[in-house]
Structure 1
Amino acid sequence: MPSILHINASPRYANSDSLRLARHFIDSVQAAAPGTFELETLNLFDDGALPAFGRTAAAAKMSVFTGQDQTPDQIAAWESARAVFDQFAAADAYVFNIPMWNSGVPYVLKQWIDIITQPGWSFGFDPHKGYSGLMEGKHAVAIHSSGVYAPGVPAAFGSDFSSTFFADWLNFVGIHDATHVRFAPTVLNADVEGTRQLAETDLSDAALLFAGKLWALQLVTD
């Protein structure tokens, strides 16, 4: 059965606008294609959700690159990172909810990306052709929210390095079938509910296409 990995990059849970929209999308996919997929959710801000990727893990990575033996501590760190990647790689499709933090993505999402974006795992490299993504054939929906920033606002109201960075990363690892939906602004907005409804409509439409892809995947695996 096809699987969806939902990556929740918000710590606000019941108060999170992006998470509310992600659940709306997942519910819409379930309504359109009941019983066609398994769902797993990774709450990045939960304690212990991600292993540290610091000095030991970095040394383990360089040992792999240089063909040197890893120490026991390095082996453990590398295996912990690999487990995070394996969870990512096992999924057929992804739902990301991403609140903008200081014009960028929340730090735990960047940590998750830095853990799984390793050569030979999510991308390859050829000295003549450059980088190539290894996650081809996957599908993704990314939901972006921001309190003040919105497309077209004056520069004094912020910049968006969040959705642009994330779209670039998806492309880098080979996930080219990606839909991005924005809910913004969530604070400086005289009609916030109207803006939310527009985002929900976009997600409902995207859910129908997403469900069709899951049906197709199920037919292949049956």
Structure 2
Amino acid sequence: MPDLLHVSASPRGEDAQSLRLAGAFLDTYRRLHPDAVIDDWDLWDGTLPAFGPAAARAKMTVFGGGTPQGEEADAWAAAQAAFARFDAADRILFSVPMWNSGVPYVLKQFIDVVSQPGWVFGVDPVTGYRHLLEGRGKRAAVIYTSAVWAPGLGPEFGADFQAPFFTGWLNWTGIEDVTEIRFHPTLTGDAEEAGRIAHEAARDTAKTF
């Protein structure tokens, strides 16, 4: 089992600001925990399964108390393997660039794959959702980056459906201990100074993670 899971939602490699910040975080974490096992999960590497018709039918089969069969069973097993990888670590780092005011579609795919009944949530007809990752000591750090939108700018520079959506999802799973590391230099801001502050925040977060 890994000590820390890093989930990357950027396809831009070393050009991605979110991954540069993740690098600063991980370098610090490794220095303080030289024996730590770190799992780097690039969501673009082809290992994240699709969640299409067979998987959707499997989900509804499970909701109904049944057991998926045939291609439904195969799709469900692939989703379960992805959830197991996500669930294996108690410390999770996410690197999340802003795409069109929201998150990259591959991160939404990740959410749709792992957010299944009996794994992430349960539903009670009277009290509503049960958050199945709650009370298990899980912690998350999320690196949020954007190039145009930034806090304090008007709507002409976009909107933030990135952090409210993703941090909200983490809280819905039951992971309440979430630290946000932000880099929003804007088109006319001081990118160098904003980067320095963000890298410092990433390193500081890693020291106590």
Give the TM-score normalised by structure 2. Answer: 0.94
Computed over aligned residues only, the root mean square deviation of the Cα atoms, in angstroms, reads 1.4
Q: Distance in 1 between matches of 2:188 and 2:44?
A: 27
Q: Cα deviation per residue 1:102-128 (whole Å; 9 max; x = unaligned)?
A: 000100000000110111101222222
Indicate conservation of the 8 Å contact 2:120/2:173, yes or no.
yes
Indicate conservation of the 8 Å contact 2:68/2:76, yes or no.
no
- 1:114 aligns with one of 112, 136, 148: 112
Partner in structure 1 of residue 159 of structure 2: 159
Partner in structure 2 of residue 103 of structure 1: 101
The residue correspondences of 1:1-222 to structure 2 (distance < 5 A) are: 3-35=3-35, 37-46=36-45, 48-136=46-134, 137-185=137-185, 188-210=187-209
Q: Distance in 1 between matches of 2:122 and 2:69?
A: 25
Structure 1 unmatched ranges of 5 or more: 211-222
What amino acid is the match of 1:61?
K
Q: Distance in 2 between matches of 1:128 and 1:190?
A: 49
What amino acid is the match of 1:139?
R
Q: CA deviation at 1:65?
A: 1.5
Q: Cα deviation per residue 1:9-57 (whole Å; 9 max; x = unaligned)?
A: 000001000011011101111222332x2100111112x2211111111
Shift in CA distance, 118/69, structure 1 to aligned 2, threshold 3 Å: closer
Q: CA deviation at 1:2?
A: 5.6
- Farther-moved stretch of structure 1 (60-69 vs 135-144): 60-69
Structure 2 unmatched ranges of 5 or more: none
Shift in CA distance, 97/69, structure 1 to aligned 2, threshold 3 Å: closer
Indicate conservation of the 8 Å contact 2:140/2:179, yes or no.
yes
The number of residue pairs the alignment matches comes to: 207
Shift in CA distance, 32/68, structure 1 to aligned 2, threshold 3 Å: closer
What amino acid is the match of 1:70?
P
What amino acid is the match of 1:138?
K
Q: Which has the higher helix share?
A: 1
Q: Distance in 2 between matches of 1:68 and 1:88?
A: 25
- Farther-moved stretch of structure 1 (171-180 vs 60-69): 60-69
Q: Distance in 1 between matches of 2:48 and 2:86?
A: 13
Q: Distance in 2 between matches of 1:151 and 1:89?
A: 32
Identity %: 49
Q: Distance in 2 between matches of 1:30 and 1:104?
A: 30
